[in-house]
Structure 1
Amino acid sequence: MKFFVALALFACLGSLALAKDDEYCQNTVITACSTSAFSANSICNARFAGIDHIEPEIQSYINANLAKSYDYLLLATHFNSYQKNRPGFQKLYQGLSDRSFEDSIALIKQVTRRGGIVDFNTRHESSGSVSTKRGTLEVDELHSLALALDTEKQLATGATHVHSRATHATDAERDPELAHYFEENFLGKQAESVRKLSGYANDLAKLMKVPDPSLSVYLFDEYLQKQ
């Protein structure tokens, strides 16, 4: 009986060793056992579906979030100075800065979880890249809201592009897991942010249609502090 078990096991291992298809991890393991170790390009990794094609798009979106986080931080610092003294606006932009930075960290973890490597030494661009060109950030309250609204629309467009790329690509490039991740963590959140900032901008614009809008701006800042 033991002889037949050993014979069956030997035959199984022999059939695996003769496999010509190198797309499977176990074939790589069998090959590696006859050498010294896994190669650097081993198939035994966490990459699957369309990650190879979508990774540059995500890298571009990570770079955009980091840049926008820095821009929001500059706005928060501007309104936190003793000259401006707008704690409500400072709170708003500090929150947006923190959110963009946290989104960058989450995306880095997502890329590495899927077997990718985030490379900040290489600039990644795509057709859906978010512009990070900066102008002056020393603006008044209403113009800062307009700037923030434009920024949120750019980030929303970038997230939509990655989601569309992962959903509507060819079979080899499609990645439902990444599409689901962006849908759950970015699309709804960015839409809500655009809605909130557009409301702020329109409300403040109406309040400032008076000869001296200083009191209106002060009261609006008080409102932002409570949000």
Structure 2
Amino acid sequence: MKIFVALALFACLGSLAQAVDNEYCQNTVITACSSSAFSGNSICNARFAGIDHIEPEIQSYINANLAKSYDYLLLATHFNSYQKNRPGFQKLYQGLSDRSFEDSIALIKQVTRRGGIVDFNTRHESSGSVSTKRGTLEVDELHSLALALDTEKQLATGATHVHSRATHATDADRDPELAHYFEENFLGKQAESVRKLSGYANDLAKLMKVPDPSLSVYLFDEYLQKQ
């Protein structure tokens, strides 16, 4: 019986010692991360390289993508109405709207992965900010393509600006990882989108050089449905 009591007491002491050790480890981490010596780029966050320098630029680009996604959605709704009835144009602009929204989500994940915070209560502007000034979106087919082409060029310029800031900053502010991310996920895709929309606009402009272009526009819309 004495042996059993001794073993039980030993086990209790061991458990208590382990609990104290665990609490000590937690307190050590909490104390280290809350002290001024570990503020800024520390082991307690994911921030490194030039994220502080580039984060406002990315926030501005996120805002632009969200705004353009909304504009494209309005265009898609406009061409999906019973008055316009252009399912091909609706498909084109719905796809661009979805892409811009998905790009915004991907960028938010990238910023938070690097230890940043996306704050939509603060308006971020930069020298490379994409214009979000809106005109009327109730336009005809050709003018809608011209509007979309301008939008894609603005987004391409914004992505190029962020990439340039991440690549050509000073040593302390340079961020190769963010530059690589934008190069892999935005630059090529935006260039291809600009090329495609410019081709659409030029093709439709040529097809409409007839006295009654209604059939040309209808056939072009049929073509867009198949893309």
Residue 22 of structure 2: SS of its match in structure 1? coil
More helix by proportion, 1 or 2?
2
> Runs of 4+ in structure 1 displaced over 6 angstroms?
1-28, 33-42
Q: How big is the shift at 1:36?
A: 14
* Cα deviation code 1:102-154 (max 9, x no counterpart): 00000000000000000000000000000000000000000000000000000
Question: What's the CA shift for 1:28?
Answer: 8.5
1:124 counterpart = 2:124: yes
- Tell me the CA shift for residue 65 of structure 1: 0.1
Q: What SS does the aligned partner of 1:134 have?
A: coil
Q: Is the 8 A contact 2:41 2:48 kept in 1?
A: no
Q: Closer, same or farther in 2 for the Cα pair 1:7/1:203, shift >3 Å?
A: farther
> What 5-or-longer segments of structure 2 have no aligned partner?
none
* Identity %, equivalent residues: 97
Q: For the aligned residues, what is the CA RMSD? A: 7.4
Could you give the per-residue CA deviations for residues 49-82 of structure 1, whole angstroms, max 9, x where no partner exists?
0000000000000000000000000000000000
Residue 27 (structure 1) shift: 13
The 3 A distance-change label for structure 1 pair 34 and 81 is closer
- Deviation (angstroms), 1:6: 28
Q: What is the TM-score normalised by the length of structure 1? A: 0.84
C-alpha contact (below 8 Å) 1:28/1:38 kept by paired residues: no
Measured after TM superposition, the shift of residue 40 of structure 1 is: 9.9
Against the structure 1 CA distance between its residues 39 and 165, is the aligned structure 2 distance closer, same or farther, given a 3 Å change threshold?
A: closer
Q: How far did 1:4 drift? A: 35
Greater CA deviation, 40-49 or 3-12? Answer: 3-12
1:88–1:221 Cα contact (<8 Å) kept: yes
Q: Which one is further off, 9-18 or 144-153?
A: 9-18
Residues 28 and 44 in structure 1, CA contact (< 8 A), matched pair in contact too: no
Check 1:50–1:39 CA distance in 2 against 1; reply closer, same or farther (3 A cut): closer
CA distance in 2, matches of 1:29, 1:194: 50
Q: Is the 8 A contact 2:65 2:101 kept in 1?
A: yes
Of residues 40-49 and 87-96 in structure 1, the stretch that sits farther from structure 2 once superposed is: 40-49
Instruction: Tell me the distance in 1 between the aligned counterparts of 2:4 and 2:41.
Output: 38
Identify if the C-alpha distance between structure 1 residues 143 and 40 changes in structure 2 by more than 3 Å, giving closer, same or farther: same
Q: 1:14 to 1:77 in 2, by over 3 A?
A: same
- The 1:224–1:158 alpha-carbon spacing in structure 2 relative to 1, beyond 3 Å, is same
Contact 2:88/2:222 (<8 A) preserved: yes
C-alpha deviation, 1:32, in angstroms:
3.0
Match of 1:155 in 2: 155
Asked if the contact 1:61/1:130 (under 8 Å) is kept, the reply is yes
Change (3 A) 1:35 1:179: closer
